[in-house]
Structure formats: C-alpha cells, structure tokens
Chain A
C-alpha cells in the first residue's frame, strides 16, 4: 500500500482538552498553496475553553483539504504541508485521497461514540433509491426535519401524478411462470425471471435476475454476484457482462452485440501504482484493485463493441455509439456518448436522431 510521502506533514484538528470530541475550525490563516515558514500559525481552532493556533512545525507549502467549519472531529486532517511545491492539481487530489484512506485505516479517536449532532434530516436508503430513479433531489420533498422514508417519496410522486415507474426487475413467482412459455433451460443460472423470456444457445449465465420478455442472444456471458436486467431488454450476441460489484440494467435497454463488455472491476490503478497485478487465480491483495457498480437506466441503446468501465452510471434515454469507451462517471439523460467518450447533448447529430422525421 502506498503511504503518505515522507515530505508531507499532516495538519490535524488538535485535542486540547481531554473531554473534547469536537473543535470548531475557525479559519485558515495562510492561503492555499502558499509557502510558510516553520513555527508560523497556519490555522486557528476554538476548543471548549479557548482559541488555539495550529502552527507549521516545518517550512513548506500549505495545502488546504478542509474548509473552516464548526464541530470538526478531533484528529481530522484539515490540510498538509509539503516540502516541495505541488503544482499539479491532479497530484494534490491524489495525495488527498491517500491521506483520506490512511485516516480511514487508522482507528479513529472517537468511533461511534461521537454524538450525533448537526443533523436534522435523515433520508433512508430505500427513499434515496426511489429519488434517484425518479431523478429527484431531497429538496423537492420540502421536508426540513425528520425521516424521509420510501413511502414519503412514493406519496410525493403520486401527488405529482408520477407513480413510481419502478425499473426494478419485475420478479414473478416461479410457480406462476411454469405455466407460461419460457425459453429458459433449467441449467441456466437464473435466480429469478419474468414471463416470455428467451435465452439463446450457448449463453452462460449466473446470478442473474431478469424481468419479463427479456431476450438474451446466443453466446452472451453474464456472471458475477448480482446482475439485474429489466423487462423488455435485449442483450445481443457475444456480449460480456461481469457483475461482481453489481450491475443494474433498466427497462427497454438494448445492448448490441457482438463485443460489448461491461466490467465492474478493474486493475488499472494497480498498473499505474507499480503492481503487482496478480492473476484471476490469486486474489489481488492491492488497495488499488477496485470494484464499482454499473447502473444503466431505462430506454438506453448501447452499440456493438463498446467497453463500459466500473462506476458508470447511465441515466434514461441515452445512446452509446458503437466502439465507445465509456469511462467511470455519470451520463445524464438525453445524451449521446461518442466512441472517444465525449458526451453530446445538443449537437446537430443528436437533434437529427431525436427528430421524428
């Protein structure tokens, strides 16, 4: 694991009084990326008893990580001093990441004994899911305090005349579907499926949940811990979907084949961090190995021979052009992703595609 470089000094919220868990971070007294001499006060904090300065113990360049705020946890890293100037913003962010991860690995001063403060509103996970599906933010619900539950969001949607068009896979009781005609072989690794589905020859599936009328064409491979495919979707021939971190595909999605791949894991960072890469037989013991879910909304068209990276979130009504390399990130509704990964919203091509004529 890469550790914090030796020429970096961390600036942390100090513990002055043994009974303080929180300290108010008042101000930065030296600006971001400025050079400071050792012994200079760079920031001030207020404890329950007094205002205290945080001084630079060595000379160097100061980089802010946190902005002044009330009630910061004792021990929290608010910035760092570097002996050499770091000009690349990318590198600054990288160092910030390393520091953050180190901080997470360190056993914190106050784990869950910290009081729950400064929170008036709690949004449950289920409520958040519905909000995301509906493309809404919490503010829309106009609730300032208390708990927002799934039922609250659904009620709001109903009041807006938009019943939740849940694109979660329609899961039909298997006993029911026995009576329906399904082209599904018992040997397929399908956990749940809807009605009138078709699985082509040579398809390899495991841990897959599919909705109604899903068509998976010949030679496609879908595996991993959890892959969901909504109703009326199509997976083309020789498409490869790896879902170890989870893949959620909405309704009416067309993934053209052949050659389109969806990956939820990556070793790219390991390569850049100097390995070792490991191999599939060995569990990769690197912190740079990472997994992220892929989520694809409703009514998305994905061309053949595309590669979709971990952490991609594609919203509803999106086109992915053939041969596209889709890197991690959020792709909003009504856009077009070019083969080079660029995104078009209002280009003439998009207008041409979206016009009815």
Chain B
C-alpha cells in the first residue's frame, strides 16, 4: 500500500504543543481519523470499489480539525470545496454513510447522487464549483443575522479559488452587510498542479484587507496554536465582523488520485513540515491507532459490499420538490387589477409580498428615490427599508447571496436589471440553486425568485435586449416562468414566491411593462381554458387557451407563445381574422420550463397547424422543444411554423432592431404562406 508509506518516514521530531491534555489528544485523534479515512478511500479506489474521483486532504487534516472544533453542528454552517472530506468528518459527519456515498451503496448520505464533492450533513455542504459557495455563504450568514441566530458560516477556500471572481464579489457583500461569515482559505501552495506563485500575484492578505475584512494569517504547523488563534476569529465573526483566515498548510498527496507531478524532493520536504506526520513518527501508539482506523474504514466498506446490492433503492427522478396539491393556486378573474399596467401590478404584488418579514428584495439600484431601472421596485425601500436593498453591480453575488438567503429560510426576490446578465448569474443558478435539491438528496431546498428583465423593443442594443431565458430552459431543477399581460401576474408572482419550492427564473418583458393587464381576451376570442396542473412533481402554472369566440368556428391554426410574444401573436391573429377570416387558438404558456403540451396537443389535433412564436432567437429553443413534444403526441400531418427573432445580435438603431425582432406582420405573412 503505497499511500501508507507517507505516514512514517520523518527524521526531525519537534512536538511543539503541550501534550497530554484532553483537547490536544482529541485534536490528534480527529486528525488521525481523517488521515485514516483518506488512506482507506485511496485504497478502495485502487481496488475499484469507488468510481469517479476523490480529492483527499492528506497533510491538511489539522485545518479541518482546528476550525470544526469551534463549530456547533446544526447551528453553524460549513461550506466546503471539493477537498472537504476532512471537514465533513471533523464537523461530525457519519463516515459510514460517506463511504456508502462514495461507493454508491445503501445508506449513502446523498443517495449516491453527490459523490466525493457534493456532501450534505446537517448544515455542512460541499460543492464542486470553485468559489460558488462564497456568495451563498454570505447569503446564509445574512439569513442568520436576520433571524438573530448565534451561528456563523465558514466558507472554505483553497488558494486556487483565489482566481474565481465570485469570492471577491462575496467579500464585498460580506463587508457591506457585516455578516457572521468566515472565509477560510487553506493555502497549500498548489492549484491542482500549478504553483500558486504562478497564478496569484501580490499579497493575499492585502487583497482582502482592502475589502474591509479582518484578515488573520495562521499556520497549521502548530495545530494547538492554530485552534487557539481561531477562537477569537470565530468569536468576532459571531459578533458580526466578517473574517478572512489564511491558513498555511500543505498537500502531501495528489490533487485527486494519481495525478501528482511534483518531484519527490518537494514532497519529502512537505512531509517534514507536516505536523501529523511528525507526531506519527514519534508516537508508536498513534501509528497503531492510524492502522486501526484504516482497518475500521476498510471493514465498513467490506460490510457495505457484503450487505447490499449496488445502488440500493436509489432513484434519479424528482429533480423538483413537490408542491402540495392544496397549494395549487386559483388564477380566477381579478377585475380589480384590470386596467393597471404590468409594471404597477408587479409593484403592488411586491408591496404585498414584503408584508412578510422573511421576504427580501435585492438587486441593483432598487432603493428610492431611483426605485429600480424600470421602477418596478419604486416605493418598496421606503416602506420596507430593512427588506429591500441595493447591491453592488455583482450579478453572481446577487444570485449566490439570494440562494444562501433562501437556504437560510428567507424568501429572496432578486432583480437582474437586464436579462442579458443571465450569463453572469447562470453559474449560480445552474450549478448551485438548480442542483442542490437533487444532489443533496432532497435535504436542501432553494425556493427563490430571480426577476429577469428580458427582451428588446427599446433600442438598448446587443447586450441589453436579448431574451436569454433559454439558458435556463432545459436545466432540471429550475423553473422558468414568463407571464404575459393576459395572465394573473400578481397571483402568479405571489404563488411562485410563497409556494414554489424550486428556484424560479421569472422573466419580465420590458415592452410588457407599459401594457395594461387584462384578463379579458382579445376581441374575437374567448378564454377557453386556464389550466393549473401538477406533473412530475412539478406544477404547471396557468396556461391560458384562447379559442375563437364563436364555439362553432373551428380554429385553423394554433399559436403557442409566452410573455411579450403574445403582443405580436394577438396582432397577427387579429389581422388573420380581418383580412382572411382565419380563426386561431392561442395557447399562452406561463411556465416555459418544464412544460406540458396537453393543451397544445388538444388544440393542434383540431387545427392541424402549429405556429410557435418566441421573443428571442428561434433556433435551439422554446419553439423547437414545443414542436418536438407536440408532434410526438399528435397523429397525422400537422403544418409547423417556428418563429422568433432573426439569428443575429439585436441592433440599437430602431429600424434595425425592428427588423431583427419578430413582428406581427412577419407572423401574418408566414401563416398565410402555410395556410
């Protein structure tokens, strides 16, 4: 066993801490437990019982033991990186369930869904995206502060993580909001295989001091001193001063399994510096304890293999938490809102939502007197000053912060000023919010709403006019809701904020803001159906089907659209009636992902023609998905039209923009060509 050879070969013995005390003994034994676990894991990996990968922390055990000895599971949060095995064990996580997770066996903590990098136990989480947890941790810390709990959030970073922008955005948020968070940087001098000196210029300490964080630089060469020095750090953090800790340490083994390209001499030198290796080399008792623990963990693995079949009773369904059927909303007629603009309705709904103490509205420039770039949040900060605040221009952190708040039990509503900035929040939503419920095996929920202001029509040019909701469509775990002026927008928003259990991308269209909300259909149409249905553990909210007013009139085409697309579709449908007496069904979807095509199929079966209209570019998007799913379920031939914006960036000049975006004339012409 090659890995075991790293335990002993050390000549210099300099025990630098007081031996014999109970705490010291516990510290050492905890560290040995972690090393034994890691060595056993590597052994199992070599034998082929573990798939994928592992990232061991041999040499960094004391970093984990020291900080976690100061945390209380269930009160304090620990957010780990990929190299968080040690922290998991030191936090109090169950080793057997962890091994089961790694081996995909019965009893696995995340049902086999997470694996080495995605662990979840009590308030311990780890995640494979570097730096992603930084803003989330700040959000969690903010929720602790809001709820006046005594907890603290430790955000583990590696020196490699320093390359990620999200942590700097998070540091800003932490400093501004004075949250009980500790950034815990384990500096092992290597980012995977690259030396940190090659990638991280300047002084790390100065970097974070300039954010206004209290920075403490420590080393784990004396684990007892490390623990003692961390005590005031944790205490200050609990009191509401965000902390940044740099712990100098070393990694004795490879980044993951066998991919160590460092020279033997470097590793020998690191081994001489490692306190645990030193202790083991002088203490026979510790050595036997280590061997015993390794045997113990291997036995657990053996038992797991003997006990159950691979996979156990794992499932891979339910990417979405269930919404209890009792909470399905009633989207009946609301006369009282008719005549108001979409903007005013949203503003009213947000006012109502903020009456709940745990509701939060965050985003850029929301605070009065400015009241948001589109004035949706006008007046909110005056009435609810503690629940509404403007953030720095840091979309990734806005997203991460909101996710953290949501995990901490708040109801955040984040405004993303332009849908084009979806790319900046995509990592947080797709890799974090969308995944947590599934990958932590239903132990975490992220119910939160991202209000994204989407679409063109205002001559804002290529980077402020796109409809990028397509980025989130197709990602399991996310729901994308794009209401139109015919939907009951106020009740929809209230429902997604209060009842939905998943992260929601709520798409607001710029051009719809000025439109008056009306539940009444376009002249010549009647509201045939409004469906609210639950499917696949998810809730399909308010699909509206408009049919020709005269029930004897057969529709000759079915329009399917969402959001601002309805404006052009209604204009085209009206023109078709006036010019050609062509009558149509219009299906207005509110939830564009995940979607259900039952209503569409029912309509297309009658009309035999389908025209899907989307505000954005029509390639690789909503239209294709609807057409494919519908055609699968309709028998016989169906005429298909799939329309959207031209496949070019959106220009700023008004005439060019209008040429790019879909117009009602274009819909009309295309429909006349096929009918």
Q: Which residues of A contact B (CB under 8 A)?
A: 17-22, 48, 107, 111-113, 115-117, 119-126, 145-147, 149-150
Contact = CB atoms under 8 A, between A and B. Distances in A.
B570 A116 contact: yes
A107 B656 CA distance: 10
A115 B549 contact: no
B203 interface: no
Contacts of A149: 581
Given A107-B655, A112-B571, A19 B374 contact: yes
Contact of A126 (B514, B516, B567, B581): B581
Interface in B65-120: none
A344 to B, nearest CB: 37
Given A107-B655, A124-B577, A21 B664 contact: no
Interface of B: 341, 343-344, 374-375, 457, 485, 511, 513-516, 522-524, 549-550, 564, 567-568, 570-571, 574, 577-581, 654-655, 658, 663-665
Contacts of B485: 115
Contact of A124 (B374, B549, B567, B581): B581
Contacts of B514: 19-22
Given A18-B374, A147-B577, 16 more contacts: A19-B375, A21-B514, A21-B515, A22-B514, A107-B655, A112-B663, A113-B457, A113-B567, A116-B522, A116-B571, A119-B523, A123-B578, A124-B581, A146-B523, A147-B550, A149-B581
B578 A115 contact: no
Contacts of B374: 18-19
Given A107-B658, A125-B579, A126-B581, A147 B567 contact: no
Given A111-B658, A125-B579, A19 B523 contact: no
Given A19-B514, A111-B658, A147 B524 contact: yes
Given A107-B655, A112-B664, A117-B516, A122 B523 contact: yes
A122 B577 contact: yes
B579 A19 contact: no
B343 A116 contact: no
A147 B523 contact: yes
24 contacts: A19-B343, A19-B375, A19-B514, A21-B514, A107-B654, A112-B568, A113-B457, A113-B564, A115-B485, A115-B515, A115-B516, A116-B570, A116-B571, A117-B516, A121-B523, A122-B578, A123-B578, A124-B578, A124-B579, A124-B581, A125-B579, A125-B580, A145-B523, A147-B549
Nearest to A145: B523
B526 to A, nearest CB: 9
Contacts of B578: 122-125
A120 B568 CA distance: 19
Nearest to A151: B581
A126 B582 CA distance: 11
B389 to A, nearest CB: 23
Nearest to B509: A113
Contacts of A116: 522-523, 570-571, 574
A122 B567 contact: no
B539 to A, nearest CB: 29
B518 to A, nearest CB: 8
Contacts of A146: 523-524, 549-550
A24 B355 CA distance: 34
Contacts of B571: 112, 116
A-B pairs, top 10 by smallest CB distance, nearest first, are A147-B524, A112-B664, A19-B514, A21-B514, A19-B513, A115-B515, A112-B571, A113-B511, A107-B655, A107-B654
Nearest to A121: B523
A20 B458 CA distance: 12
Nearest to B548: A147
A22 B578 CA distance: 24
A59 B485 CA distance: 43
Contacts of A115: 485, 515-516, 567
B663 A111 contact: yes
A122 B582 CA distance: 13
Nearest to B666: A112
A122 B524 CA distance: 7
A108 to B, nearest CB: 9
Contacts of A117: 516
A161 B577 CA distance: 27
B279 to A, nearest CB: 68
Contacts of A20: 514
A48 to B, nearest CB: 7
Contacts of A48: 341, 344
Contacts of A19: 341, 343, 374-375, 513-514
Contacts of B568: 112-113
B376 to A, nearest CB: 9
A262 B567 CA distance: 43
Contacts of B511: 113
Given A146-B549, A147-B549, A112 B655 contact: no
Nearest to A109: B654
Nearest to B663: A112
For B374, B524, B567, B654, which residue has the most chain A Cβ atoms within 10 angstroms? B524
Contacts of B574: 116, 122
Contacts of B515: 21, 115
A19 B343 CA distance: 8
A113 B511 CA distance: 7
For A124, A125, A126, A145, which residue has the most chain B Cβ atoms within 10 angstroms? A124
B453 to A, nearest CB: 12
A150 B665 CA distance: 23
A248 to B, nearest CB: 18
Contacts of A150: 581
A191 B571 CA distance: 35
For B514, B524, B580, B664, which residue has the most chain A Cβ atoms within 10 angstroms? B514
B562 to A, nearest CB: 15
A148 to B, nearest CB: 10
Contacts of A120: 523
A104 B513 CA distance: 25
Contacts of B550: 146-147
A111 to B, nearest CB: 6
A48 B663 CA distance: 26
Contacts of A147: 523-524, 549-550, 577
Contacts of A17: 375
Nearest to A115: B515
A112 B567 contact: yes
Contacts of A126: 581
A120 B523 CA distance: 6
A122 B570 CA distance: 13
A147 B548 CA distance: 9
Contacts of B564: 113
Contacts of B343: 19
Contacts of B522: 116
B670 to A, nearest CB: 14
Nearest to B568: A112
A123 B578 CA distance: 6
For B374, B564, B567, which residue has the most chain A Cβ atoms within 10 angstroms? B567
B128 to A, nearest CB: 42
For B344, B568, B578, B665, which residue has the most chain A Cβ atoms within 10 angstroms? B578
Nearest to A22: B514
A116 B546 CA distance: 15
Contacts of B655: 107
Contacts of A22: 514
A193 B663 CA distance: 40
Contacts of B581: 124, 126, 149-150
Nearest to B526: A146
Nearest to B456: A113
B436 to A, nearest CB: 36
A191 B574 CA distance: 32
A107 B580 CA distance: 27
Contacts of A123: 578
A150 to B, nearest CB: 7
B598 to A, nearest CB: 28
Contacts of B523: 116, 119-122, 145-147
